[in-house]
Amino acid sequence: MSETPMNTLQYRLDGPEDAPVLILGPSLGTTWHMWDRQIPELAKQWRVFRFDLPGHGGAPAHPAGSVAELTGRLLATLDALGVQRFGFAGCALAGAVGVELALRHPERLTSLVLIAASPRFGTADEFRQRGVIVRTNGLDPIARTSPDRWFTAGFAAAQPAITEWAVQMVRTTDPGCYIAACEALASFDVRHELGRVGVPTLVLVGSDDQVTGPAEARTLVAGIPDARLAVVPGASHLVPVEQPAAVTDLLVRHFSTAWQPGYDTGQTAVPGIPVVLPQQPAAPIAEIAPAPPVATDQVMGRPDPYDAGLKVRREVLGDAHVDRALTQADDFSGDFQEFITRYAWGEIWDRPGLDRRARSCVTLTALVAGGHLDELAFHTRAALRNGLTPDEIKEVLLHAAVYCGVPAANSAFRVAQQVIREETTPQE
């Protein structure tokens, strides 16, 4: 095990010191132990490097809020060890790290396996909502439901010790690091970049994965040139834990093969595991969104702040709210929606002078003073997303009661209480 400065990751090494390096990366809420049953076989021919996410498995709690930051810490760790080239297999969040490596640091990567991965993990709203629940209730609700997301029902029932291990693994994770990892997944979206992945890639998924299942895997295969798909029967999200022998076999075959044009692709099939191969080099298909257009207008000699404003507006209020507002806009209200996106969100909310927590405090107080209860409701949701706790929102409203009046604060408390109850109730 290693010592871990803030810019590096906790890791361990197995296998011969002079062997090629193979990196195994974990899913959110897990530790390097999710790969334990792969190590005996893989360590015969590789120097296997496993790492923990920040705040997971006893690793120092230095949150990393983006996939790019996690990737940077991984590379800093490898640089300190003198490791320049490596194969990489990552599950879920670590799969996102693998795609980031392939896109931004292809010179470091020899081969790639993406397990239970996706070019975009659900929606940003889903992961930011999970962060709100963890901030309010801790990790226990997430821990108790993790086996349902990670394993098939039959496996969970037959393996109570592994099921309990999964619960305790999540329960002992640092909440702040877990929330930061949710933010990293919320902001990850490489759908329009997959065509630039140029390393040999195997996409591996459990047939019963309800989190990032075969549909997401096929999107990766459709976008990554010459990628292969392996669907493992009888497995859910943590397929290396649930079907260790099948996953080990697939990893050995993929990383052992010098995958070059003209190679006999049929040789990588594993009995009982369907491997679906594209018939021709895959190009992005309709479900993979194109890059958004870049605004060319200029406002007062500066770049138009509309795009930046729309990004901030979505991050603070949520995609569903913003999509609803923009969809409902017509010839009468469309100019107003453009106005607030450009100036309220692109000019004011995007200024560096205050962080978003402070801006939420100011906004809540102003809405109480003005009696704008409808807007108070969705800005209470925004305050939770921006990192305010329910207790901090209560303090803002108490403070507002002194300066804005008790009747105004009384109405505000009623609205905020309902929103907080809705937003912080764990989804079982």
DSSP secondary structure letters along 355-397:
-HHHHHHHHHHHHHHHT-HHHHHHHHHHHHHTT--HHHHHHHH
Q: Does domain 298-424 have CATH number 1.20.1290.10?
A: yes
Q: What is the pLDDT of residue 4?
A: 56
Instruction: Provide the percentage of residues in the chain whose pLDDT is more than 70.
Output: 88
Q: Are 205 and 213 in contact (CB under 8 A)?
A: yes
Domains 11-276 and 298-424 share a fold: no
**What's the whole-model pTM score?**
0.74
What is the pLDDT averaged over residues 206-219?
95
pLDDT over 70 (residue 365): yes
Residue 283 has pLDDT above 70, yes or no: no
pLDDT of 165: 94
Q: pLDDT, tens digit, for every residue of 167-188?
A: 999 999 999 999 999 999 999 9
Confidence of residue 2 (pLDDT cuts 50, 70, 90): very low
> Is the pLDDT at 299 greater than 50, yes or no?
no
| Chain mean position to CA 414 | 34
Q: What is the pLDDT of residue 370?
A: 93
Q: What is the dihedral of CA 215, 207, 86, 79, to 10 degrees?
A: 80
- Confidence class of residue 192 from pLDDT cuts 50, 70 and 90? very high
Tell me: the pLDDT tens digits for 65-96?
999 999 999 999 999 999 999 999 999 999 99
Percentage of the residues of the chain whose pLDDT score is greater than 90? 75
Map 97-150 to HEC letters: HHHHHHHHCHHHEEEEEEECCCCCCCCHHHHHHHHHHHHHHCCHHHHHHHHHHH
Which region among 34-48, 286-300, 351-365 has the lowest average model confidence (pLDDT)? Answer: 286-300
Identify the CATH number of the domain defined by range 11-276: 3.40.50.1820
Query: Residue type for 423, please?
Result: E
Cα gap 34→24, rounded to integer Å: 10
Rounded mean pLDDT, 312-327: 89
Answer for the pair 37, 79: CB distance below 8 angstroms, yes or no. no
Pairing of strands 86-91, 21-25: parallel
Most confident of 275-284, 298-307, 337-346: 337-346
CA angle (391 as vertex; 385, 396 as ends), nearest 5: 85
Average pLDDT, stretch 251-278? 52
User: Once rounded to an integer, what is the mean pLDDT over residues 96-119?
Assistant: 97
pLDDT at 112: 97
Per-residue pLDDT at 268: 37
pLDDT at 278: 38
Which structure tokens are listed for 393?
A: 């929102």
Task: Write down the pLDDT at residue 162.
Answer: 95
Phi, psi of 163 (to 5 degrees): -60, -45
pLDDT band for position 428 (cuts 50, 70, 90): low
Domain edges within the chain: 11-276, 298-424
Q: What pLDDT was estimated at residue 6?
A: 76
Look at residue 337 in the predicted model and tell me its pLDDT. Answer: 93
Higher confidence at residue 103 or residue 125?
A: 103
Give the model's confidence band at 302: pLDDT under 50 very low, under 70 low, under 90 confident, else very high.
Answer: low
Q: What is the mean pLDDT of residues 224-239?
A: 95
Average pLDDT of the chain to the nearest whole number: 88
Selected residue with higher pLDDT from 314 and 51: 51
pLDDT score of 393 more than 60: yes
The pLDDT value recorded for residue 301 is 55
- Predicted confidence at residue 231, as pLDDT, reads 95
Q: Comparing C-alpha atoms, which of 204, 193, 197 is closest to residue 232?
A: 204
Q: How many CA atoms lie within 13 A of 152 on its CB side?
A: 18
Q: What is the pLDDT of residues 366-380, one digit of tens each?
A: 999 999 999 999 999
